[in-house]
Structure 1
Amino acid sequence: MARNTFDQDETLEQGFNMYHVRRLYDYMRPYLKPIIWCMFLMVISSLLGLLGPYIIKIALDDLIPAKDLTGLCIATIAFILSLIGISWIMKNRLITMGRVGQDILIDMRHDLFVNLQKLPFTYYDNRPHGKILVRVVNYINSLSDLLSNGFVNLVADIFSIILTMVFMFVLDTRLALVSLIGVPILMSIMYPLKALQRKAHQKLSTKQSNMNAYVSESINGMRVTQAFAHEEESMRVNEHVCEEYSNAWLGAVKLNFLVWPIMDNVATLTVALVYFSAVFIFVDDISVGLLVAFVAYVWRFWGPITNLGNFYNTIINAMANLERIFELMDEKPTVHDCDDATELPKIEGHVEFEDVKFAYEEDEMILKGISFEAKPGERVAIVGPTGSGKTTIINLISRFYNINDGRILIDGHDISKVTLTSLRGQMGIMMQDSFIFSGTIMENIRYGRLDATDEEVIEAAKVVKAHDFIMTFENGYETVVNERGDRLSVGQRQLISFARALLANPKILILDEATSSIDSQTEVLLQQGLDELLKGRTSFVIAHRLSTIKNSDKIIYIQDGQILEMGTHDELIAKGGGYCHLYTTQYELLRA
């Protein structure tokens, strides 16, 4: 997927090819038994449908002239039974293929979601989330009709065309040849439309992606929009995005609507040629029953061809979306277990950075040779100006990104050579953005360790001083909170996230601005609990309020991606360098 914003069109790195069809077939393979059964039923349905015109021919040419009432009754009953058989087959086909189609969509959506779980932070950092969401939901849903009806009907229609041609040639070879004149005419018209339709549906999927991305972004940023009274501007942009989608949709639909009239006109022309040939050329040996039956077969011949035209429209639309789906599915995780990765054993928390270099973009190095050591149980604070690389360092400890050079060791193990699960499973992380899932407060805290008891959850909440405010809610820990915890204050969300991280009982604890939204009084209470909790754990703390890190065992002052100073608070104050200046400036501001 191209890196862009909601108003930039995506471009496919590769066009559609038969490989996509083969991959779609791989998803259909586990369900071949019911699919083949439905195809067999549709073939029987086509055969039953073709009996109707032949029964009419017999009635008109033989039974009615002979006044054979018994034969007419038998023919009528046979005709009715064929209709009942067709109805029964259609009912069972719809039920079976509807279930099969949805099962295939579940499998595809699952594979997409699994791959999304593996993709690194860099993937989400550079892409509108709405453009990712549209692939998992809208584009997958667009395949429903293709999988539930398209392929089964395709086989049935092809068989019906072949069988109808057999019936026509059996009835009259001359008229059968006349009825085929329209086929090359149709192909010469339809082939040029193929490229135009594909481009139109690719553009449609792109504009739909843009619209979805903007709606998602607008919902997430609604508080900011209303706070700055920018609703009119937001609506103007939305109108523009929707208009572009509407124009793309109209362009695709116009091309789709060309298919049916073209096929209908060619079919009508063919029927007219058959009538003309029967009445003016082959009139001497063409009976009324034969003509009526043959014209019915001609319409039945062009009916499946029209269905194939509709299927063509469906597959053009589906394949335009399928290209996007497989593009996301093929996105390779850049952070993954190496081939010979081993399980990281139970750690003590000894962390070493050895000349680590890192860049989000190749031409802009963020960390320029970082080296330090954190011994088990040490509390390490990382401070420095905004954009100096503090958060990047703690993200690298959890290996959310791959480093460009150097090594990061935990208890002597290179973290690039151990499994991600065994690495991250021994860490507790509280990011600056405290994300709250929809559900109860109890469930949100238990996310840190899914097998934790209620008592353990409550104890963790008490340690971080979240228990008291939780109990002020009517349902306490069973209080339901919305996505992102909208009914909670920012400070309350941070405390819940803190309890979640602490519940994991990690050997390495990472706190990125963990107390930035907590008032000073609450912070004092929280610090009391943390002093006990952090004993025996290696912790990395980033905090702009330097008063919270004075008691750290080691303070690392970083600027422009380099460590300029390292030591205790007293040592760095005595040096009078960058940390001292930062601390003194903040202290003076607080006094003022």
Structure 2
Amino acid sequence: MKEDRKEALIRKYSYAAQQNQAKAAKGPGGPGRGRMPGGKPQNTGKTVKRLLSYIQEEKYKLVLVFACVIINTVSMLAGSYMLRPIINGLTSVDGSAQKLLRSLLIMACIYLFGIVAQYLQARIMIGISQQAIFKIRNELFAKIQRLPVRFYDTNNHGDIMSRFTNDVDAVGEMLNNTVVQIISSVINVIGTFCLMVYTNIWLTLITVLMVPVMMQAARFVTMRSRRFYKAQQAALGTLNGYIEETVSGQKVVKVFCHEEIAEEEFSYLNYDLRDKQIMAQFFGGIMGPVVGNLSQVGYSVTACVGGILCVLRGFDIGGLTVFVNYSRQFSRPINELSMQMNTIFSALAGAERVFAIMDEEPEPEDGPDAVRLTDCRGNVRLEDVTFGYNPDKIILKHISLYAKPGQKIAFVGSTGAGKTTITNLINRFYDINEGKITIDGVNIRDIARDDLRRNIAMVLQDTHLFTGTVRENIRYGRLDATDGEVEQAARTASAHSFIMRLDKGYDTMIEGDGANLSQGQRQLLNIARAAISKAPVLILDEATSSVDTRTEKHIEKGMDRLMTERTTLVIAHRLSTVRDADAIMVLEQGEIIERGTHEDLLAMKGRYYELYTGKRELD
């Protein structure tokens, strides 16, 4: 029974992820917008090339690293070759302690030279790789600032965070070690092969014949390993998404006594991640032993044949010793790379997920002729606007309305009627399918986005405060505001009195998105933030729906001051808050079915009358 529930839970979250991808793919701009990586592997060569592009800018340092790798590899090979004269000297009749000591001293100097080169190569490469990770994080964060709201509406926040942490860290680990390892291994294999041919061509052929066997074994493991690492990274993103969802909704979890169920569901997802990690780590881990054992077989065959050559063909013992050592060195790079497979595939899977966000379509750039709103009055007009988040499902149908400077326009209607959608369209969080929206007679498509949004202030139902002081949170609405303007905005929002009762007043630190403040206090700070922006257009999206009646009246005083001389669009569930609106729009199923003042709508005795008198409930 538990297995059935586990599979159902995993299917649910997998289905949710697929639905998010599908919703994003159907958005404006055609298929592919907002698409996140699925289970199908991306182009590995393209991913590797793109990763390397982040370190190619450090050309001179890379040349130095390359030189250090060559010096280190040549030193190791030359040091190993020094065994031949040393052993031949020990086995010859004319060998002397002085010659032996001189040979050992030369070998020590060669190895020391290589160690210094290896140290320099490691230090420089760490700097290069960390600079690359710095660039990737910066580019990724800059990209998410330019992505449309649609992206965040259709993707799990925990999964996005996982790309910033787990995936980028996996890429960093690979760049720190694996890139240099690959370069070193290639040089090592070429140098070792040349010395092996120089030492004995027949033994070289035996060693080389083992390479295809090892490569085939590595290929067999690699094909399976990459698939499991892809699944591991996806399961990790799903688990992070569940954690983010559960932590952010912890109050709801506790209210409905869902703690044990949450633990159980987390365990199911954790088990799924564990199973995928076991398979990924298993196939990544067996690569080394498989290749290592095959190299031991080749080593043994080489030693046996070499011994026969020493007895029958006069091959020197020193040469055999050196060659046996080289035969191990020849397979060692392959073995070392195989041991790095878990890092490589984890990093490539992570890099694909990171690049998937970087390749998302950002909000379109403003055109060269974009209008700058330097003196906006707040004359808002919607003309025959039709819109759907997906083309096959229209939300708003032929909406037309206007709001003159200083007017208060209210929207009421059932949940899903399209009230919030209208405000999203005015901000250009989404672009309309048909019709036109203008501010001061200018089509918002022709207005620079920054200018458009700078002239629109929003107070939402869901408050969000940032880490910092009360003063900094209010100033977020306009960063160049003075301390005096911050205080004035707080007074306008009726927030000054409660701020002064805090331990440090305006310098009190906000903790955990305002966890040390009440819901009403957080909302007052949001209103103050909107007040300081001095935007001529104000949008209030159910700003008082989550507070009690007493707090609501306190907030309404602040909003009344805020709405003075501003064009205000109000969305409200409580009809008592919109009685004094200049016009009330009643929406149902994406259409305006009634419009007028409070008295006009009551006189009509239609939908609004039924809602206001309680004859029909507002959904």
Query: 8 Å contact 1:463–1:526 — kept in the other structure?
Result: no
Query: 8 Å contact 1:16–1:319 — kept in the other structure?
Result: no
SS in 1 for 2:406: coil
For 1:434, give the aligned amino acid.
T
1:490 equivalent to 2:510? Answer no
User: Once the two structures are aligned, what percentage of the paired residues are identical?
Assistant: 34
User: How big is the shift at 1:562?
Assistant: 0.9
Query: 8 Å contact 1:336–1:420 — kept in the other structure?
Result: no
2:215 equivalent in structure 1: 187
- Which of 57, 61, 64 is 2:84 aligned to? 57
Show structure 1 runs of 5+ residues with no match: none
Give the distance between the partners of 1:527 and 1:485, measured in 2 at CA. 21
2:195 equivalent in structure 1: 167
Q: Which string of whole-angstrom CA distances, capped at 9 and with x for unpartnered residues, describes residues 475-524 of structure 1?
A: 11121222321121111111111111111110111111122244444444
User: How big is the shift at 1:63?
Assistant: 6.2
- Which of 130, 144, 147 is 1:119 aligned to? 147
- Which of 302, 305, 329 is 2:331 aligned to? 302
1:138 equivalent in structure 2: 166
Farther off after superposition, 368-377 or 253-262: 253-262
For 1:189, give the aligned amino acid.
A
SS in 2 for 1:449: coil
2:484 equivalent in structure 1: 455
For 1:194, give the aligned amino acid.
T
Q: Which string of whole-angstrom CA distances, capped at 9 and with x for unpartnered residues, describes residues 41-61 of structure 1?
A: 011001111122221211121
Query: 8 Å contact 2:381–2:401 — kept in the other structure?
Result: yes
1:575 equivalent in structure 2: 604
- Using the size of structure 2 for normalisation, the TM-score is 0.90
Structure 1's 370 and 480: CA in aligned 2 closer, same or farther, altered over 3 A? same
Query: 8 Å contact 1:340–1:417 — kept in the other structure?
Result: no
- Which of 87, 110, 113 is 2:115 aligned to? 87
Give the distance between the partners of 2:41 and 2:108, measured in 1 at CA. 52
1:230 equivalent in structure 2: 258
Q: Which string of whole-angstrom CA distances, capped at 9 and with x for unpartnered residues, describes residues 152-190 of structure 1?
A: 221111011111111111122222222212111112222
Q: How does 1:397-416 map to 2 (within 5 A)?
A: 397-416=426-445
2:47 equivalent in structure 1: 20
Structure 1's 99 and 359: CA in aligned 2 closer, same or farther, altered over 3 A? same
Farther off after superposition, 181-190 or 37-46: 181-190
2:299 equivalent in structure 1: 271
1:157 equivalent in structure 2: 185
2:106 equivalent in structure 1: 78
Aligned length, in residue pairs:
585
User: How big is the shift at 1:7?
Assistant: 4.4
SS in 2 for 1:436: coil
1:435 equivalent in structure 2: 464
User: How big is the shift at 1:380?
Assistant: 1.2
- Using the size of structure 1 for normalisation, the TM-score is 0.94
User: How big is the shift at 1:339?
Assistant: 4.2
Query: 8 Å contact 1:5–1:127 — kept in the other structure?
Result: no
Farther off after superposition, 311-320 or 37-46: 311-320
For 2:137, give the aligned amino acid.
R
User: How big is the shift at 1:110?
Assistant: 1.8
- Which of 42, 48, 66 is 1:39 aligned to? 66
User: How big is the shift at 1:409?
Assistant: 0.7
SS in 2 for 1:551: coil
CA RMSD of aligned residues (A): 2.2
Q: How does 1:199-214 map to 2 (within 5 A)?
A: 199-214=227-242
Query: 8 Å contact 2:458–2:530 — kept in the other structure?
Result: yes
Q: Which string of whole-angstrom CA distances, capped at 9 and with x for unpartnered residues, describes residues 34-78 of structure 1?
A: 122112101100111112222121112136743433332322222
Give the distance between the partners of 2:222 and 2:555, measured in 1 at CA. 66
Give the distance between the partners of 1:530 and 1:253, measured in 2 at CA. 58
Farther off after superposition, 30-39 or 516-525: 516-525
Query: 8 Å contact 1:379–1:538 — kept in the other structure?
Result: yes
- Which of 380, 383, 390 is 2:409 aligned to? 380
2:391 equivalent in structure 1: 362
Q: Which string of whole-angstrom CA distances, capped at 9 and with x for unpartnered residues, describes residues 372-422 of structure 1?
A: 111122111112222211111111111111111111111111112222111
Structure 1's 521 and 212: CA in aligned 2 closer, same or farther, altered over 3 A? closer
1:249 equivalent to 2:277? Answer yes
Show structure 2 runs of 5+ residues with no match: 1-10, 19-37
For 2:116, give the aligned amino acid.
W
1:417 equivalent to 2:465? Answer no
For 1:227, give the aligned amino acid.
V
Structure 1's 525 and 196: CA in aligned 2 closer, same or farther, altered over 3 A? closer
For 1:188, give the aligned amino acid.
Q
Q: Which string of whole-angstrom CA distances, capped at 9 and with x for unpartnered residues, describes residues 523-549 of structure 1?
A: 444444444442322111112222222
Structure 1's 13 and 498: CA in aligned 2 closer, same or farther, altered over 3 A? farther
Q: How does 1:287-326 map to 2 (within 5 A)?
A: 287-326=316-355
2:364 equivalent in structure 1: 336
1:566 equivalent in structure 2: 595
Give the distance between the partners of 1:313 and 1:388, measured in 2 at CA. 51
- Which of 479, 488, 493 is 2:508 aligned to? 479
Structure 1's 511 and 182: CA in aligned 2 closer, same or farther, altered over 3 A? same
